[in-house]
Structure 1
Amino acid sequence: MSYSRIIPIEFCHCDPAGIVFYPRYAEMVNSMVENFFIDEVEYPFARMMAAGQGMPTVRLEIDFRKPSRLGDRLEWQLRVEHVGRSSVRFLVNAGDRLEARSTVVWMDRDFTPSPWPDHIRQTLEAHHA
């Protein structure tokens, strides 16, 4: 099962040539993960932070395939590629533009990797490809 959203390419994403400045793609990948947690997991980052929990990105790989320009509307998809004890790897793509793998780790109050809470693990496993 995958999660999808459309992200329009805005002026703030672009360099002076009118194409997406590559670090902005990393922000969009993170946006996909954050919105997946809002819409599917129903555990937003704001709630995590208020509870003293977090989910930092520990690895990010991006293959850039084709430039995107101001005004493009990219259809993004996120799939759960791997669920570990305290980590998850997401496969995120924006059509023919890029493919990314983002690995995050669940951190509890003591800032050490901790097992996924059951309610989060169940949703991650339900979305596992």
Structure 2
Amino acid sequence: MAFHQSKPLRFGDCDLTGIAYHPAYLSMLVDVNEAMFASFGVTWKELMFERKIGLPSVTMNIEFKRPSTYGDVLDFAVHVRAIGRASLDLETIVTVRGEVIWTIKQRIVATSLDNHKSHPWPDDVREGLTRYLEPAA
């Protein structure tokens, strides 16, 4: 089951023509990923400041299908494709009114904020992520 969240495309997310400015998409994606973790009771604030675990993206493969414009509501569907010892492979499909706008395949790696090396997923985080696990066909 994918994690779903909708986000409006605001004026500040667009260029002067009213078309989405692509860096705004990545900011929205960070918000959606953070919300996915919160959905199973683990906040990024807790991970970073209490558990000292960072969540950097190490790869991103984005494909833009068509533009979106000011006022559109973007529907994000985040699919967990694989959970490794410290890695997390996500595929996010973003639609507007049912039409795919862009997709991204992303790998996040849990890291120790003390030494910046990979850090195994804590059991509660792994359990929470597993609820969204849908390996690619």
Asked if TM exceeds 0.5, the reply is: yes
Tell me the SS of whatever aligns to 1:97: strand
Q: What are the residue-to-residue correspondences of 1:11-26 with 2, within 5 Å?
A: 11-26=11-26
Candidates 81, 96, 103, aligned match of 1:99: 103
Aligned to 2:127: 122
Q: Percent identity?
A: 27
Residue 10 (structure 2) aligns with: 10
* Residue 56 of structure 1: how far off its partner (Å): 0.8
Q: Partners of 2:33 and 2:76 in 1: how far apart?
A: 11
Alpha-carbon displacement from aligned partner over 1:9-39 (angstroms, at most 9, x marks no partner): 0011000110001111111222211110112
Q: CA deviation at 1:100?
A: 0.6
Name stretches of at least 5 consecutive residues in structure 2 with no aligned partner. Answer: none
4+ long deviations beyond 4 Å: none
**Could you tell me how far apart the structure 2 residues matched to 1:27 and 1:102 are?**
14
Paired AA for residue 81 in structure 1 = R
- Separation in structure 2 between the aligned mates of residue 53 and residue 85 of structure 1, nearest angstrom: 14
Distance in 2 (CA, whole Å) between partners of 1:123 and 1:43 is: 8
Structure 1 gaps, min length 5: none
Structure 1 partner of 2:43: 44
Question: How is 1:81-92 mapped onto 2 (pairs within 5 angstroms)?
Answer: 81-92=81-92
Please give the alpha-carbon distance, in whole angstroms, between the structure 1 residues aligned to 2:45 and 2:131: 23
Which deviations, in whole Å up to 9, do the C-alpha atoms of 1:39-89 show, x marking residues without a partner? 23x111111121222111111111000101000111111110111110001
CA distance in 2, matches of 1:111, 1:29: 23
Q: Which residue of 1 aligns with 2:71?
A: 71
**Alignment correspondent of 1:60:** 60
Contact 1:87–1:105 (8 Å) recurs in 2: yes
Aligned residues: 128
